[in-house]
Amino acid sequence: MFEAPESPYLAPFNGKFKWKAAPTGPAGEVPGKKEQKRQLAKLISRIDELQRIFYAHDRHSLLLVFQGMDAAGKDGTIRAILRGVNPAGCQVFSFKQPTPEELDHDFLWRTTCCLPERGRIGIFNRSYYEEVLVVRVHPHYLGSQKLPADLDLETIWADRYASIRQHEEHLARNGTVVLKFWLNVSWEEQRQRFLARLEEKQKNWKFSVGDIRERGFWDEYMMAFETALAETSRPWAPWYAIPADNKAYMRVCVADILVRTLESLDLHYPVVDAKKLAEFEDIRQRLLAE
């Protein structure tokens, strides 16, 4: 089964992740923005190359899960690191408030329907983790989920973490590589990004009054992220707590992890057997003779 590439931002697998110890900015000096753009371009080129082999190899699927507070940079990071990938081999899904149909199913159903096929990269912009993040911060949302009357509200979160761990382990056993990224933006950087959305007309559409309401629950969200990462980061489905205050650095970190993950899978183009090669040579000779 797949095991996570090492990274200074890899959440531990022993349940001891602490959000206050997770940096929101780079540790130490980093290259300037121009150099980081060059690094990212090189990584994107390598992702494109590896994705072609990944698609042809057709033995794995890759699921990238992005979570973070509003304005953490989820959309921009997804767009930046996958801009060179063939759209035929990649699919992105965003998950908002559940629909009535989705509420008629268990909390994993709507994302399970969107899992990537073998050979494809699937991206979840938010995910089933919303059920132990926003719903944990706002437990009254459980009232609309049509849950059994005898459900134990004291154990529901532990039960959901267990379901998520089992779900991800099942995916890993069957060839889906799961990488999860918490884009860890600071309180102050989020404030600055909200101000930019209000002050720059071309960014007004990104702003929602609800974003400010959720900002008021910052500490509750941080504790929810801490518990989710501690409970569900495993070698076969790792969490990476990526510093998100420096967007260029964040994107290089994510792209680097993606490249090293794909390189670890021993990907190769399918090998054509001798019988097929003989058929191909016969066809080639006939085409040359036309």
pLDDT digits (tens, 9 = 90+) for 247-263: 999 999 999 999 999 99
CA distances from 282 to 128, 234, 285 (A): 52, 51, 5
In contact, 190 and 72? CB cutoff 8 Å: yes
- Render pLDDT for 178-218 as a digit per residue (tens, 0 to 9): 999 999 999 999 999 999 999 988 888 877 888 899 999 99
Q: Coil, helix or strand for 52?
A: helix
**What pLDDT was estimated at residue 151?**
78
Whole-model pTM: value is 0.94
Query: What's the whole-number mean pLDDT along residues 18-38?
Result: 91
Fold (CATH) for 19-289: Rossmann fold (3.40.50)
- DSSP bridge pairs for 178: 63
Q: How many residues does the chain have?
A: 290
- More confident: 6 or 28: 6
153: pLDDT strictly greater than 80: no
With cut-offs at 50, 70 and 90, classify the pLDDT of residue 133. Answer: very high
With cut-offs at 50, 70 and 90, classify the pLDDT of residue 4. Answer: confident
Query: What's the whole-number mean pLDDT along residues 233-240?
Result: 97
**What pLDDT was estimated at residue 174?**
97
Residue type, 94: S
* Stretch (H or E) spanning 64: strand 61-68
107 vs 176: CA distance, rounded Å: 20
**What pLDDT was estimated at residue 255?**
97
Max Cα separation, the chain? Answer: 77
23 vs 241: CA distance, rounded Å: 8
Listed in sequence order, the DSSP H helices in 174-217 are 187-199, 209-215
